[in-house]
Structure 1
Amino acid sequence: MRTISDNMPVELAASDTSREERAPAPWYRRRPAVLPWAWAAGLCLLYATVAVRRHQLLRTTGYDLGIFEQAVRAYAELRAPVVPLRGPGFNLLGDHFHPLLAALAPLYRLWPSPLCLLVAQSALLALAVVPLARWARRALGVRAAHAVAAGYGLSWGIASAAAFDFHEVALAVPLLAFSLEALAHRRWRAAVVWAAPLLLVKEDLGLTVAAVGVYVALKGPRRLGITTAAVGLLGALVEIKFLLPAFNPGGDYAHGGNLADGHGSLLSTLAHVPLDVLRPDVKALTLILVFAPSALLALRSPLAMIAVPTLAWRMVSENPFHWGTAYHYSAILMPVVLAGLIDVLARERSARNVRASLATVLVVTVVLLPSFPLAQLVQRTTWRTTPHIEAARALLARVPDGATVAASNRLAPQLTSRCEVVVFPTFPVDARLDRRETGPLPAPTAEWIVYDSVPPEAWPQKSGPWPYPAEQQEAELRAARERHGYEVVAARDGVTLLRRTAS
């Protein structure tokens, strides 16, 4: 039986030698370093096509693309990241702790558009394939590198993030991927250096830094690992207990309610954790699907422990959005899963088993692909601009630059690069609990209102209009005309543009 070692590519065979002597080697063999970057470029184009087209179809939203654009725009203008969409004077560092967003400010300064963030996110998600494909090529060979790159690049977790607005986690994905590659090559300090900036991406990622530290302590220099784990835990604690409350208008951690005591006492809550992790059933399905891109083989790798913190807080959260496969929440897990796959296969001594495993990975990838957002590229509706979209664009063009605008959620990110935008109809916010309250809404004060009454074609977050039922939104629109001094400037195909004429 043919065997392989950690450093012998699977695909090498004696018969290949004679063929290579007779014919020139393909470009990816002559310049193997190009392969990972070629994959990154192709994936970036793929993700950007989906993201940009969604924006053109009015499928992006103020919550969250508009929010992040307002924050990055503020950084680009050397201001604090105050985000009107989140509330008057709301500093976004009081929502999640992500000061590394400021790194995108120079790009936004050159290209002040929501498309800047969508393309930047596409590039960041694609960049993570470079260390994974490079590691796979060295350990398993060129064909295996292609399989790993496809498994990562077309994975449902990355697809869901690439096709859902913009989120800060895009900054974390390549950082973690490079850290995992360094761990694989026992470059412990480099692994820690790559992981450390995760503390500036989001407060929960301090736990991921701690997990990297635990891995280093078990496999490498114990002191470095323990120090890294301690810094990760301490960093997360400081951000949640001190920094986030300091920036939040309510003086508390905005998302603390997601981890509320659901069983009456801390002891009871801890006792229920094993079952709560798997209830309701969607949680168990998500746990399986997270490791599915590796054909579940990543579960055999000790690198899988780095996924535990993210999976843990999501499964014990009381926010149902955290339990499923939609949105951006699983993007950070995909590099871990594919790294675990490479780690397991690099230690496999049977070439036949390696080939069978990689074939299974590709089959799983293909089977899951139609159920997630990259499939939008082959849907006819993705490439059709409807009269409604044309009407919305025409009315939005009538809003002057620099105006204050209250806009429907799906129209907000079409304006955030050139106007000060809030969501219409707005809602009272308990900043301490980050909870949308019912009751009378404050009167609109923006100079313009642009409202879209047509339900979204494809928006998985909510069923129907947001943030209120259609009847209530229509009532607020009537109130703006009848009681708050707004008059209709234009109305077309369900989109209404109003301007305030009385103070």
Structure 2
Amino acid sequence: MQAPTTTLTERSNCAAEESVVADNPVGEERSHAEWWMWVLTGALFLTYLLLSLRLHERLLTNSFDLAIFEQAVRSYAEGRLPVSEVKGPDFPLLGDHFSPIVALIAPLYWLWPSPKALLAVQAGLIAASVLPLTLWARRVLGSGMAVVIGVSYGISWGIASAISIDFHEVAFAAPLLAYALVALANGRMRQAACGALPLLLVKEDLGFSVAVFGVLIALRGARRLGITTAVVGLCGSLLQLLVILPFFNPGGGYGRLQWLGDSGGDNGGVGDLFYRFTIGLITPEIKMTTLVLVLAPSLFLALRSPLIWVAAPTLLWRFASSYDVPWGTTHHYSLVLMPIVFASFIDALVRRQSSKGSVRRYVASCAAIGLLLLPQFPLWRLFESSMWRSEPRVGVAHRLMARVPDGATVQASNALVPHLADRTSVSIYGWPTSRPNPQWIMVDTLVPWDQRWPLSESDERASLARARNSGYLTVAEQDGFVLLSRSG
């Protein structure tokens, strides 16, 4: 006998949707995107692109990670496996992160060989992730509520933080997650699995999220599909972590696993792991602050939806890590959480069988929180006069970099590396694994102390003196920029 295709949970969820729709006559089933959805998507794309390009033009992008990913895409565009000079001479990037999906950018890079191509792709991918969410919200809540939810999602702090910090492979995860979550919530199990499985090609940890999708699919009644999805996701991540990454990594192993140690525990080994996955998940307090901010846009209603479990693997590895940057709200680490939180928010509103007035209050509060947080995060920089002020030093930097010939080996200051990665073999000046004895060196000696990396001002000054003594000639020195070329 064939198993029933729907479960009590599914029927309950459908009944809840019908309850909300019954109160909202504009919530009839429509699967096509309305004009305002395309306008919203286009406006978000232009906003994200404007911010990221402006930051890049003002020398505020970095070698880690814009230049690294450009070197990866450049490798794919040339028909090679991805390598990065920034990580080390001919460093194989499949030994650092398993992200073959970035090869999809190669055709665009053939036409537009520039880091700006990567920034444009990222802006487009993240903007596109609003479409599945607004389509679903429009169907069950009505167009007005869908507009507010779409805008709130588009300006959410996790997205803003990701847009402002170079390019990252997880941009591909945003539309995949949004599509798969909406399909799962609406009982389209095969579509949910098909949307989730490509996450295995985005990053090595996302297979665990795929496994959670599989469990949720199984619990919704599609047991064979769900178990298969869960097994593929779990085995995929383990294969990447334990086999593929160590195979390509020059040092063997997967270096980031060491972040689960060094907890300060007394026992070491198992004791460190126990600490990391218990007390270490909530201390120091920055972790709880981040968790509160992750859930705040949904008024914590996301916790009422089983979809929120898809966020668990990402939160676990971030908070269990001894590397402190993922603990906070900066960088790109919360990008994958935003589609999950907002999909869970919509699902929670449906499940509550709330009246139209209650839904409006919840959605209005969601928008209010987004607006309240907006000035604290990078999208607000578009409204700051300093972002649009002309800086003569930037022009000087570009003129001096133009003197470096195509194909040359270069070491450059961190913020200059992304501007040279499309046409030279460039690495970071002062980084221990950079290719030694480059043909050219270009350094910005006026970098503020809090942005200096990897050399301090005194170390940089001493290093430049050693370079000159070893035969490098000063080609140009202007406005704090120093351009050296190796004699002979």
Which TM-score tier does this pair reach, normalised by the shorter chain?
A: over 0.9
Q: What SS does structure 2 have at the residue aligned with 1:491?
A: strand
CA distance in 2, matches of 1:366, 1:10: 27
Q: 2:367 corresponds to which letter in structure 1?
A: L
Aligned-pair CA distance for 1:9: 5.8
Instruction: Answer whether contact 1:124 1:173 (CA < 8 A) is retained.
Output: yes
Task: State the Cα deviation string for residues 413-453 of structure 1 (Å, max 9, x = none).
Answer: 11111111011123148xxxxxxxxxxxx8x4111111001
Instruction: Answer whether contact 1:188 1:220 (CA < 8 A) is retained.
Output: no
Instruction: Answer whether contact 2:63 2:86 (CA < 8 A) is retained.
Output: yes
Q: What SS does structure 2 have at the residue aligned with 1:363?
A: helix
Aligned-pair CA distance for 1:465: 0.7
Aligned-pair CA distance for 1:47: 0.2
Aligned-pair CA distance for 1:30: 13
Q: 1:498 corresponds to which letter in structure 2?
A: L
- CA RMSD of the aligned region, Å? 2.0
Q: 2:440 corresponds to which letter in structure 1?
A: W
Query: For 1:474-493, what aligned pairs fall within 5 Å after superposition?
Result: 474-483=461-470, 485-493=471-479
Residue matched to 2:119: 118
Q: What SS does structure 1 have at the residue aligned with 2:315?
A: helix
CA distance in 2, matches of 1:342, 1:151: 12
Instruction: Answer whether contact 1:74 1:82 (CA < 8 A) is retained.
Output: yes
Q: 1:200 to 1:13 in 2, by over 3 A?
A: closer
- Determine if the alignment matches structure 1 residue 498 to structure 2 residue 484: yes
Query: For 1:162-241, what aligned pairs fall within 5 Å after superposition?
Result: 162-241=163-242
Instruction: Answer whether contact 1:94 1:254 (CA < 8 A) is retained.
Output: no
Q: 1:30 to 1:77 in 2, by over 3 A?
A: closer
Residue matched to 1:60: 61
Query: For 1:445-464, what aligned pairs fall within 5 Å after superposition?
Result: 445-456=437-448, 463-464=450-451
Q: What SS does structure 1 have at the residue aligned with 2:451?
A: coil
Q: How many residues align?
A: 467
Aligned-pair CA distance for 1:463: 2.7
CA distance in 1, matches of 2:179, 2:358: 27
Aligned-pair CA distance for 1:406: 0.8
Q: What SS does structure 2 have at the residue aligned with 1:279?
A: coil
- Determine if the alignment matches structure 1 residue 359 to structure 2 residue 364: yes
Q: 1:475 corresponds to which letter in structure 2?
A: A
- Determine if the alignment matches structure 1 residue 378 to structure 2 residue 379: no
Q: What SS does structure 2 have at the residue aligned with 1:328?
A: coil
Q: 1:405 corresponds to which letter in structure 2?
A: V
Q: 2:348 corresponds to which letter in structure 1?
A: V
Q: 2:312 corresponds to which letter in structure 1?
A: V
Q: What SS does structure 2 have at the residue aligned with 1:243?
A: helix
Instruction: Answer whether contact 1:169 1:201 (CA < 8 A) is retained.
Output: yes
- Determine if the alignment matches structure 1 residue 293 to structure 2 residue 297: yes
CA distance in 1, matches of 2:446, 2:147: 43
| Higher alpha-carbon deviation: 134-143 or 294-303 | 294-303
CA distance in 1, matches of 2:34, 2:24: 22
Residue matched to 1:436: none
CA distance in 1, matches of 2:233, 2:332: 22
| Higher alpha-carbon deviation: 310-319 or 259-268 | 259-268
Q: 1:470 corresponds to which letter in structure 2?
A: E
TM-score (normalised: structure 2):
0.92
Aligned-pair CA distance for 1:8: 6.2
Q: 1:327 corresponds to which letter in structure 2?
A: H
Q: 1:491 corresponds to which letter in structure 2?
A: E
**Which of 319, 324, 339 does residue 323 from structure 2 map onto?**
319
CA distance in 2, matches of 1:8, 1:42: 32
Q: What SS does structure 1 have at the residue aligned with 2:254?
A: coil
Task: State the Cα deviation string for residues 262-313 of structure 1 (Å, max 9, x = none).
Answer: 3334542354332211111100000101111212111111111000000000
Aligned-pair CA distance for 1:351: 1.5
Instruction: Answer whether contact 1:8 1:139 (CA < 8 A) is retained.
Output: no
Task: State the Cα deviation string for residues 235-271 of structure 1 (Å, max 9, x = none).
Answer: 1111000000111111111212212263334542354
CA distance in 1, matches of 2:429, 2:79: 28
Task: State the Cα deviation string for residues 312-337 of structure 1 (Å, max 9, x = none).
Answer: 00000000001000000000000000
CA distance in 2, matches of 1:124, 1:250: 33
CA distance in 2, matches of 1:427, 1:251: 19
Aligned-pair CA distance for 1:41: 1.1
TM-score (normalised: structure 1):
0.89
Instruction: Answer whether contact 2:31 2:135 (CA < 8 A) is retained.
Output: no
Q: 2:190 corresponds to which letter in structure 1?
A: R
CA distance in 1, matches of 2:480, 2:178: 45
Residue matched to 1:410: 415
Percent of residue pairs identical: 47
Residue matched to 2:349: 345
Q: What SS does structure 2 have at the residue aligned with 1:85?
A: coil
Q: 2:452 corresponds to which letter in structure 1?
A: P
Aligned-pair CA distance for 1:5: 5.2
Q: 1:30 to 1:177 in 2, by over 3 A?
A: closer
Q: What SS does structure 1 have at the residue aligned with 2:432?
A: coil
Residue matched to 2:99: 98
Instruction: Answer whether contact 2:246 2:253 (CA < 8 A) is retained.
Output: yes
Structure 1: unaligned runs, 5 residues or longer: 17-28, 430-441, 457-461
Instruction: Answer whether contact 1:36 1:131 (CA < 8 A) is retained.
Output: no
Aligned-pair CA distance for 1:172: 1.0
Query: For 1:31-70, what aligned pairs fall within 5 Å after superposition?
Result: 33-70=34-71
Q: 1:243 to 1:232 in 2, by over 3 A?
A: same
Aligned-pair CA distance for 1:387: 2.0
CA distance in 2, matches of 1:30, 1:173: 20
Residue matched to 2:401: 396
CA distance in 2, matches of 1:30, 1:421: 48
CA distance in 1, matches of 2:467, 2:452: 18
- Determine if the alignment matches structure 1 residue 468 to structure 2 residue 455: yes
Residue matched to 2:10: none
Instruction: Answer whether contact 1:132 1:339 (CA < 8 A) is retained.
Output: yes
Q: What SS does structure 2 have at the residue aligned with 1:405?
A: strand
Aligned-pair CA distance for 1:380: 0.8
Q: 1:95 to 1:32 in 2, by over 3 A?
A: closer
CA distance in 2, matches of 1:319, 1:239: 21
Structure 2: unaligned runs, 5 residues or longer: 1-14
Residue matched to 1:6: 17
Aligned-pair CA distance for 1:222: 1.4
